[in-house]
Amino acid sequence: MARSCLAIILAAGESTRMKASRSKVLFPVGNLPMISHVIGAAKAAGVGSVALVVGRDADAVEAASRGVTDNLTVWEQKDRLGTAHAALCAEKAIEQGYDDVLVIFGDTPLVRPETLMHSRKMLADGADVAVIGFRTDKPQGYGRLIEQNGELIAIREERDASDEERSIGFCNGGLMAINGRKALEMLRAIGNENAKSEYYLTDIVGIARERGGRAVAVEASNRELIGINNRAELAEVEQLWQWTRRVDMMKSGVTMIAPETVFLSHDTLIEADVTLEPNVIIGPGVTIRSGAVVKGFSHLEGTTIGAGCTVGPFARLRPGADLQTGSKVGNFCEVKNATVGEGAKVNHLTYIGDASIGANANIGAGTITCNYDGVNKHFTQIGAEAFVGSNTSLVAPVTIGDQSYIASGSVITQDVPAKALAFGRARQENKDGLAEKIRARNLAIKAASRKSQT
């Protein structure tokens, strides 16, 4: 839209019902703070400037918000005197002059940009106030939106509503758009003549009409207007968010065998023809290319999985893991800050950290890169088509050359040239008959122990 727009994000609540040591707007949904979801939706709705009204944990809330937009001003609400008072904390931002002003709660992370755009369109069509509401069969506890001849004439709180008005299922969602040229004068006109002596934003509907303006209601789904006040509601919103993302991905060509057991992040990127088996957890920063298969009970974060790769089951890919086309990381393997080259295999019970594995290399079961000396991390380079035998420890920094072989059970502390065979283990010795003597001694010790206990 060509119209200028300011979004006032109300995020100054004490979060008392969350019983938390931080502001509730910092709690994540899809591994992103809910305040970031709200600002992202506003930005997608064409908002040019954001006025963030903060209270508790102001610095952390501001930092999370600036991760989404830099066009941000921050205003502190020192006293909690109602929603209109909170909006007026951004008075100097409103004074800058905008066509539209959106007022949005910081704890409504499911609000859609399309809904905010619709409310702005109502302003463009001549309304002075557009209140966003929802319909429900259980309206108890919500303010009712009273309409007449296509206009919103009042928002009636339940305690003040008549029996007829209480039967209305169209309820106030709290979010609204206001004519930016009149916003300041209307907000300043809101009084606090009520039981709580607070300044209620909902009174702006009556003020707009008293001044000859028009107010309208914009309908949204009730799910996108859910506000989060406690941890149960946080879990509900997370479930709704996850299901929406799963459905979107399945429609785009991703197979989820048991989608209700797959968990995604806000920035997850999965191409078509990927298969996710049950109980896959995807943290932030994951990209999965076409044709890959992620088997059950795998945990991924900060990872790129190339086309045609196979991961898991029970694999853990940590930040910096980069699996190139056709490679494989199998069961009970962990990869961190490492590249697994094209066609390479890390099949069983293996840890690869701070390393690079060349194309078509094979890493045997129980192999570990010993990358940490207690203070610093060190790098392991494994060449193309190298074969690392099972139960090998590669003590970094170390380089394993192309097409080299490492004998099983080795501890490798020096570089291995290309095409060489390396042994890093003690020479085996066999002591004939000694096992029988050791067993007899152990049985005698066990028998003596039992006798002493009786």
Coil vs helix vs strand at 251: helix
> Two tokens at 423?
């042994």
Give the N- to C-terminal CA distance of the chain in Å, as an integer: 89
Residue with tokens 């853990």: 316
Question: Which of these, 70, 104, 73, 107, lies nearest to 90 by C-alpha position?
Answer: 73
Strand order in the sheet with 362-363: 255-256, 275-276, 293-294, 310-311, 328-331, 345-348, 362-363, 387-388, 405-406, 421-422
What gap in Å lies between CA 177 and CA 128, rounded to an integer? 8
Indicate which residue of 118, 266, 348, 378 is catalytic: 348
Give me the residues paired with residue 11 across strands. Answer: 54
**348 classed as catalytic:** yes
Residue 32 host element (H or E):
strand 32-33
Contact 393, 420 (CB under 8 A): no
Coil vs helix vs strand at 247: helix
The backbone torsions φ and ψ at residue 166, rounded to the nearest 5 degrees and listed phi first, read: -65, -20
**Torsion, Cα of 403, 408, 409, 415 (10° steps):** -10
Contact 190, 237 (CB under 8 A): no
Angle between helices 58-66 and 34-44 (to 10 degrees): 40
What gap in Å lies between CA 67 and CA 71, rounded to an integer? 11
> Two tokens at 18?
């969350």
Name the amino acid, one letter, at 247: V
Question: Which of these, 297, 355, 294, lies nearest to 328 by C-alpha position?
Answer: 294
Contact 241, 29 (CB under 8 A): yes
Neighbours of 133 (CB within 10 A): 26
What gap in Å lies between CA 253 and CA 275, rounded to an integer? 9
What gap in Å lies between CA 29 and CA 236, rounded to an integer? 10
Residues marked active site are found at 348
